[in-house]
Structure 1
């Protein structure tokens, strides 16, 4: 089930006037259809059309051999995205310049209900298939995903491409050319300013003799290590609560740093009396963040709809760093009213691109294509944010984990923001 590739020959080729990397719904594609070979015909036709579709394929191993299921949704009616550029005679002399037929084709902003519903039923769709719902939905971005295992292989992609055709009156079939385009789905008009932060409180607990003043760097004796190992009540313990504010919405190429905030509040009631009033130093030594992208597909099977899912991870920065920073950060804290919030995301200037995470504009780790969250009729693409915070107190580490659903938005339409 291959994606459409560029096809261009002297017989026919599609050339674009603007060298744009991507297009958006509503944009106008300007270019021309070119033919260079010697041609003399009293009547010929040249057409250009825009295709948009979402395809899925699932191959499962069975005792009787592989079983294949497919899903296919077209977004456009071809008579709605097709232009006739020539209907008449054509003369292209040998060795001369190519004949070019210009075109300006506007990308629709919505799917066509008739095209989407053709050959599809509601039990094989993640979205409603009523005319009203389809007309109100948006076009998904270009997308591709592949998942392989010994017993199951599936593919999913959303693609948009131009197809040109040249046919003379005497021809039984036309000469064709194709050119894929990259479509970025509609996003917000302006950069996101609120990231829908979610707040959670995680308990922290450190037990060691090094919490006692004067023993911060002491080498523990065998007896002290044994007491610590068996959690003896004679070993001081320091209790605190870690307040984490993390985002549930990301926007790629947003100039505002992605917020991730840490606040530490001591829990005096569960802290040993011997160190209750002793100021402790808490260091942030590591913060890792990873997006888990899950792709779910639906296909038409022999006995009803078939589904499959696969996951890809996008790690922001090397493990053991603070989103790319190698030096630990001291987290100031005091009573609940005195506690200072550490805005790690703002401190490192964390941002997200289609191919990497960035810190202060510099690439942290390249991870290939990151796609916005979306759902179309036979493909659902969703994300979760996984993060890990490592804190160090008196030479002892404590780890805090989090996992939460998030939405990934494409870049805003405001190009001046970047």
Structure 2
């Protein structure tokens, strides 16, 4: 067992930590165990030691225009103020002999649900938050510097710490004087889903239509003449054409640290009414040259009446992943005359590429008073039909869930009772993941 120590000579606080050199991490509902120590010798007529839990959501935005700079700041208590202090040493005389110390153990429980602490006027400005009750947001930090382009800088964080405070009353020349010393110990608030890793990735189907105009759609077509090349370039009506719908089944929900395979399926179906009769009943091969999947993470920071947004792209499947397989990946469609054309046999790109959420360092989707993180998922397919290249793609909103956390029954904390009719909500999610309570 190792500890996090704050270097206050008058007072120190230690939190139990399972890994050396890193901040301890907790989830809402867990109990933080630690000890407060004082080693300064002396006899104090009256002293009191208290421990409190703190959480802050802070944001800052700077905007520079020419030689003028404007600053905007905001700060909120993300644990519902005020948190009651835990008195570990009530008001009483305190005597510490030379070379000895006094210590006071404590155990303080993180609330599972907190309430909206914004004033009415603030709710008009800070519109990120959804719902009056929600789990405490996870620790978070972001910084953006676009001063070279727009003259704007933004910073936001969600931070937690345990604070110990000792109040000492001395009598000097008949007058009582009070002095105070504090010590803090930061910790990480983790965002988790109680239970095993999810297996439902909220798969949804996307469909895009594309038309290929090429003489080589007709089997046996040889080298094109100059006239044929010209007509094909201008896509005249005499050139054979194939119209097909590309179906892409993609996840709309991902989970941090979930290593289960995630399916991504491609299929195609011909559109007979928009396909030349000359190639009816002729199988056509759609070669998939590349498939790219990317997450665009958006971070929005709000401070007073100003907001700032920045985005960063995270590659989940790189463009060269298909070519790295070293084999052809293709779909076959056949436009049937006078009948219903069948959809091609689907191919599972996710299975081929062994697509899993491995070490992408993503922060779960969340919203709090003055900062939020959301995601868009972009996909792009490049292919070839009858020697003609095509590129199709789309972007949709996605959500990233916290990682799984399984608790044994005896480890589950007793949930804090929310106000009547109010349940924990996960802002920005279509369906709430499992609650923190059992």
> TM class, shorter-chain normalised?
0.7 to 0.9
Shift of 1:376: 1.5
* Residue number among 300, 324, 344 corresponding to 2:349 in the alignment: 344
Q: Any conservation in 1 of the 2:289–2:323 contact (CA below 8 Å)?
A: no
Partner of 2:14 in structure 1? 15
RMSD: 3.3
C-alpha displacement of 1:400? 1.0
Inter-partner Cα distance in structure 2 for 1:328 and 1:145 = 42
Q: Are the equivalent residues in 2 in contact too, given 1:81–1:105 (CA < 8 A)?
A: no
Indicate how the Cα distance of structure 1 residues 288 and 338 shifts in structure 2: closer, same or farther if over 3 A, else same: closer
Is 2:318 the counterpart of 1:318? yes
Q: Does the 8 A contact of 1:316 with 1:323 survive in 2? A: no
Q: TM-score, normalised by structure 1?
A: 0.79
1:303-322 CA deviation, whole Å, 9 max, x = no partner?
xx222222222121333324
Asked whether the equivalents of residues 253 and 351 of structure 1 are also in contact (C-alpha less than 8 Å), the reply is no
Aligned to 1:208: 214
Equivalents in 2 of 1:230, 1:323: separation in Å? 31
Cross-structure match for 1:371: 363
Following TM superposition, by how much is the alpha carbon of 1:294 offset from its aligned partner in structure 2, in angstroms? 1.7
In structure 1, what is the equivalent of residue 94 of structure 2?
89
Between 1:70-79 and 1:155-164, the stretch displaced more is 70-79
| Segment of structure 1 superposing worse, 204-213 or 100-109 | 204-213
Q: What are the superposed Cα offsets for residues 206-249 of structure 1, whole Å, 9 maximum, x if unpaired?
A: 3334434356xx76666654443333455433321101222222
Secondary structure of 1:351's counterpart equals coil
Aligned residue for 1:140, secondary structure, equals coil
- Tell me how far 1:276 sits from its aligned partner: 2.9
Q: By how many angstroms is 1:108 displaced?
A: 0.9
Give the structure 1 partner of residue 420 of structure 2: none
Measure how far apart 1:52 and its partner are.
0.9
Max Rg structure: 2
Contact 2:129–2:367, Cα closer than 8 Å, also in 1: no
Could you tell me how far apart the structure 1 residues matched to 2:120 and 2:77 are? Answer: 10
Q: Is the 8 A contact 2:112 2:136 kept in 1?
A: yes
C-alpha offsets along residues 19-49 of structure 1, whole Å, 9 cap, x if unaligned? 16531100111222344x5422334443332
Deviations 1:296-351 (A, max 9, x none): 23222xxxx22222222212133332497565423355574453222222443322
Using the TM superposition, give the Cα deviation of residue 156 of structure 1 relative to its aligned residue in structure 2, in angstroms. Answer: 1.6
Matches of 1:77 and 1:238, distance apart in 2: 61
8 Å Cα contact 1:73/1:120 also seen in 2: no
1:77-98: CA deviations, max 9, x gaps?
666353233344242644x6x6
Kindly tell me the number of residue pairs found equivalent between the two proteins: 384
Q: Name which of 265, 269, 287 aligns with 2:273.
A: 269
C-alpha displacement at 1:118, in angstroms? 6.1
Corresponding position of 2:204 = 198
1 CA distance for matches of 2:271 and 2:254? 33
Distance 2:134 2:379 in 1: 33
Alignment CA distance shift 1:119-1:222 (3 Å) = same
Tell me what 2:53 maps to: 50
Shifted more, 247-256 versus 85-94: the winner is 85-94
> In structure 2, what is the Cα distance between the partners aligned to 1:27 and 1:283?
53
CA, structure 1 residues 271+127, in 2 after alignment: closer, same or farther (shift >3 Å)?
A: closer
State the match for 2:433 in structure 1: none
Matched-pair contact (CA < 8 Å) for 1:205–1:237: yes
Distance 2:144 2:137 in 1: 20
Gaps in structure 2 of 5+ consecutive residues: 171-176, 336-340, 409-438
Counterpart for residue 360 of structure 1: none
| Structure 1 equivalent of residue 157 of structure 2 | 157
| Matches of 1:10 and 1:22, distance apart in 2 | 26
Do 1:52 and 1:160's aligned partners in 2 also have CA atoms closer than 8 Å? yes
User: Is the aligned partner of 1:145 residue 2:142?
Assistant: yes
